[in-house]
Amino acid sequence: MEATIANGNNFIGYEYRDITVSREKESLYTDAYQNFGWTLDSKAGFPIGFVSTNLKFKRDRKILNKAELTRLQRQFDACVKDIESLEQSKNSSAFIVALTVGIIGTACMAGATFSFLGGHILACIILAVPAFVGWILPYFLYNSTYAKRTQKVAPLIESKYDEIYEVCERANDLLGN
């Protein structure tokens, strides 16, 4: 969305950008977009309980080095998306492991139930033990997998933040600040 504004005799054309970001990344976007020539025009917060907010930015359409700033801004946006996907991978991999073990435990419990109904008590007992283990173990598996994945992903996230700071520094140099 683009618009123009007349300021006395000096005409300044602005371009506008609206982005919806998570509340935890709000200050990152607010600080970083200044380095690409954007100024925060307004912030439309959502009611309590929502995890995102809408940020509205504007910048001069005739800003110097606009093409390079836009390229660096896209690089910044890509780095933030990479960080979000790495953070999400911590939870999703742990969830998949815990869910798989829980489903296997449930299948064993179904087998134990059918064995009991069929009159095979020994098979029922043999299947009930892994079933209960399969229902108890996912909690501990989730926590340990999450911790391992966090430890593995933390350096990658940190390197992405370093890349973000380098991109913002280059963009700031282009603005001449």
Tokens coding 14: 């602005």
What is the C-alpha to C-alpha distance for residues 156 and 152, in angstroms, rounded to an integer?
A: 8
Q: Which percentage of the chain shows pLDDT scores above 70?
A: 91
DSSP H/E element including 81: helix 66-117
* Strand duo 2-7 + 39-44: pairing: unpaired
Q: What is the pLDDT of residue 63?
A: 85
Q: What is the arrangement of strands in the sheet containing 10-22, beginning at the earlier edge strand?
A: 2-7, 10-22, 52-60, 39-44
Cβ pair 41, 57 in contact under 8 A: yes
Cβ pair 40, 57 in contact under 8 A: yes
Cβ pair 111, 103 in contact under 8 A: no
Amino acid, res. 63: I
What is the C-alpha to C-alpha distance for residues 144 and 168, in angstroms, rounded to an integer?
A: 36
pLDDT beneath 50, residues of the chain: 1-7
Query: Can you give the pTM of this predicted structure?
Result: 0.76
Q: What is the pLDDT of residue 177?
A: 61
Q: What is the pLDDT of residue 1?
A: 47
Q: What is the pLDDT of residue 2?
A: 46
DSSP conformational letter for 51: S
